[in-house]
């Protein structure tokens, strides 16, 4: 009888073991990661059904401000190193968990039916380009990358009357797709999501690589599970999803 009870207890513990470390993990990810991270989260939950991923996407600067204001976040994934550097400087992240996991590229996109062409950046000065979408460089990485290349070309100030500021890259993409602007600075991966509505006029080299870092926050109440999720993003399965959406391996 004792042996039977011991066997039953052992079996019960074996079943319960995978669920012993269960948590709801809040992942704040840059807007450009939305589609890829949604798929990664779904795959992760299938492998670890005891965990639940809450995905929060916005501009990287907005995500950082949310954490600084006390929002409960376990994992941060930004579209640039500068924002993660700020998070580290504010003591927000566990720096030992910081990893670079993806690369992207900056492009100028236009509505699919547009007849416009761009040979060099100065072509944006042409009256043919009346409205150009650029995300706010004060808090959005794609905006900072865009401003940097335009400043280097001596165009940032001259193009100000044409520039329509957006909250994040997906809003810029939406404006382009709906034809509300003549062109917009977005990421290669975003333009690829809407091939039926937008086209790439030019790939714009950036001085700094468009590099994506990920880290676990110090405030996380589910640090072990958060680390498990970041490891999944960096795993072959996670990288396969990222590559599917056009992100490159760093």
Annotated binding-site ranges for molybdate:
32, 60, 169, 187
First vs last Cα of the chain: how many Å apart?
Answer: 58
Q: Are 82 and 165 in contact (CB under 8 A)?
A: no
Distance CA 43, CA 57 (A): 18
- Three-class SS state of 97: helix
Distance CA 166, CA 175 (A): 9
Tokens coding 5: 């009870």
Distance CA 114, CA 100 (A): 36
Distance CA 203, CA 32 (A): 17
Distance CA 121, CA 188 (A): 17
Kindly tell me the burial class for residue 91, based on how many C-beta atoms sit within 10 Å of its own C-beta (0-12, 13-18, 19 or more). exposed
Between the alpha carbon of residue 144 and those of residues 139, 141, 147, the distances in Å are 8, 5, 5
Binding residues: 32, 60, 169, 187
């Amino acid at each position: 009888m004792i042996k039977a009870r011991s066997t039953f207890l052992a079996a019960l513990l074996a079943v319960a073991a995978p669920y012993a470390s269960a948590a709801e993990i809040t992942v704040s990810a840059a807007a450009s990661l939305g589609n890829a991270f949604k798929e990664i989260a779904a795959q992760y939950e299938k492998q670890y059904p005891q965990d639940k991923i809450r995905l929060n996407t916005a501009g990287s600067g907005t995500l950082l401000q949310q954490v600084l204001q006390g929002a409960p976040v376990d994992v941060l994934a930004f579209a640039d190193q500068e924002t993660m550097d700020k998070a580290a400087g504010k003591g927000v992240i566990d720096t030992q968990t910081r990893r670079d996991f993806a690369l992207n590229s900056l492009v100028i996109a236009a509505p699919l039916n547009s007849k416009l062409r761009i040979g060099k950046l100065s072509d944006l000065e042409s009256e043919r380009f009346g409205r150009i979408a650029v995300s706010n460089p004060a808090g959005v990485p794609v905006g900072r990358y865009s401003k940097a290349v335009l400043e280097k070309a001596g165009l940032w100030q001259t193009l100000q009357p044409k520039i329509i500021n957006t909250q994040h890259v997906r809003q810029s993409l939406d404006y382009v797709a709906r034809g509300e602007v003549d062109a917009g600075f977005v990421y290669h991966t975003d333009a690829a999501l809407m091939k039926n509505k937008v086209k790439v006029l030019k790939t714009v080299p950036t001085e700094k690589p468009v590099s994506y870092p990920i880290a676990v926050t110090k405030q996380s109440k589910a640090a072990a599970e958060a680390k498990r999720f970041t490891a999944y993003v960096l795993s072959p399965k996670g990288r396969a999803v990222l590559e599917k959406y056009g992100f490159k391996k760093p």
